[in-house]
Structure 1
Amino acid sequence: MLDYQPSPHLLDGRVILVTGASKGIGREAALQYAKHGATLILLGRNVPALESLYDEIEAAGCPQPAIIPLDMLGATDQHYRDMAATIENQFGHLDGALMNAGDLGVLGPFEQIEDKCWDRVMKINVDATFHMTRALLPLLKASEDGRLIFTSSGVGKKGRAYWGAYAVSKFATEGMMQVLADENSKGPLRVNCINPGGTRTAMRAQAFPGEDPMTLKTPADLMPLYLYLMGPDSKNVNGQSIDAQPK
């Protein structure tokens, strides 16, 4: 699946939501999903960046996307319920969601984690993702071939010193995926995690400021896996946490 070669029309007719779509992996995934026929719902807090992506998608002749400006740090459960209702009213269905938005926090010794940092990471990476997923589940389960992809990390599978709040949040993400995959194993909804690995993104640069980014793969390099798990060919893959860059 890492060298998957998708059909140009892989996602024709599908409506897909991507969170954290303004940059990095989220931006690239949204662009590739659109180029393979999907109608994209672009969610993020950086409106100018979302508008730039919107223009790029339209210029490429892809289905017209939609933008949902939302700061997950301040959003309430009602925001997500209203969002789900709007998606249903405007599009009639939702066939996929890539939960890509996340916050790294501050790396350092566990005993030095500040409450503000912990609360922010948990709010964005766990609480907001939970509330959004819960609100969207009826739509995703109603799809004939629904897909839900969470974004994991190597530190969410094996804890690593100094990764504190972020690592704990990713363990929670893995658990959320496993619970949902098991609950929906008998239906058409497939739920999985992707661990991108070291990728040329702003978050990676924040975590490893001394690293040469040119030694890392780009988000575009990882897209075969993102397309595979979002499309119909992955109908037998459920409850898996897949490394985009296995060692």
Structure 2
Amino acid sequence: MKISTNYPITQGELEGRVVLVTGANRGFGRAMTLDLAKAGASVIMLGRDLGSLETTYDEVVDAGFKEPILYPLDLEGATPEHYQQLQADVLDSFGKLDGLIHNAGIIGTMMPIEQYDLKLWYSTMQINVNAPFMLTQCLIPALNKSADGRILFLSSSVGRDARAYWGAYGVSKFAIEGLSKTLSEELEKTNIKTNTLDPGRIRTKMRQIAYPAENVENNPTPESLAPAIVYLMSEKSKPLNGEQLTLES
């Protein structure tokens, strides 16, 4: 299903909603953080680099948007205890969670499965699959406190149509697609909706690593695509559940 990026953000439309964004410190995560805060959401910015989290925090505040919350956490090294603490912190601070956006991820490397480095495989799977699983599992109780909860997994075309040499990244996105679909079935009688989103071409460092010969100027900026995230966290997208969504380029 195609999702338009030309969504007109209305100031205050997400007022009272609490949304956690992983990888919120740069790229698409930074852009969606700014637009979610612009729409009035309380954004919990999760990322491993406190410095860049603070830079994005300053951008949000300087723009006069809703003040976000910084939550430094390294998803590669995070343990179940870290996620339990996050759950406690969210419930203590807000009493609920309305949106969980799994944006953080790493590309790994481009090479045949036969030659793939084992340590890099484990690292990619830890960040791209295991961390979203543990984070979601721990935050479902907080999402259940919401009258309209959302889980959104950032995916990729290589997680829907297998492509040679995409290695751990491609496999991780197939896993995310399966995790999202399973959750949508298990949670269908709750107020939580679960979907995946392929953002398509986007002008980020990860895209440059994957396509080094590509002219980045031909790709949409994260800022031009981020309004769609506000739509997907708003009541207007409430009917969507178990969908494989793709942004219109």
Does TM-score exceed 0.5, indicating one fold?
yes
Which residue does 1:92 correspond to in 2?
A: 95
Matched ranges for 1:23-172 at <5 A:
23-172=26-175
Matched position secondary structure for 1:40: strand
Cross-structure match for 1:203: 206
Q: Superposition RMSD on alpha carbons, in Å? A: 1.1
Q: Deviations over 1:152-196 (max 9, x none)?
A: 000000110100110100000001110111112222211111101
Shift of 1:6: 3.3
Displacement after TM superposition at 1:221 (Å): 1.8
1:22 aligns with 2:25: yes
**Which of 11, 14, 30 is the aligned partner of 1:11?**
14
CA deviation map 1:82-139 (0-9, x unaligned): 1110111112221111100001101111111010111011000001110011000111
| Number of corresponding residues | 246
1:245 aligns with 2:248: yes
TM-score, length-normalised on structure 1? 0.97
Q: Residues of 2 paired with 1:39 and 1:180: CA distance?
A: 24
State the shift of 1:62 in Å: 2.1
Q: Which amino acid aligns with 2:179?
A: M
Do residues 213 (structure 1) and 222 (structure 2) align? no
- Counterpart residue identity of residue 50, structure 1: L
Q: Residue 61 of structure 1: CA displacement? A: 2.0
How much does 1:7 deviate?
A: 2.2
Alignment partners' CA distance in 2, 1:19 and 1:230: 15
Query: CA deviation digits over 1:26-84, x for unaligned, max 9?
Result: 11001100000001110001111100111111122222211111111111011001111
Given that 2:23 and 2:104 are in contact with CA atoms closer than 8 Å, whether structure 1 keeps it comes out as yes
Higher relative contact order (CA closer than 8 Å, sequence separation 6+): 2
Q: Structure 1 vs Structure 2: percent identity of aligned residues?
A: 45
CA distance in 1, matches of 2:8, 2:145: 28
- Kept in 1, the 8 Å contact 2:32–2:227? The answer is no
1:235 aligns with 2:248: no
Structure 2: runs of 5+ lacking an equivalent: none
Q: What secondary structure sits across from 2:125 in the alignment? A: helix
CA–CA separation in structure 2 for the residues paired with 1:99 and 1:244: 16
Instruction: Report the CA distance shift for 1:75/1:105 in structure 2 as closer, same or farther (over 3 A).
Output: same
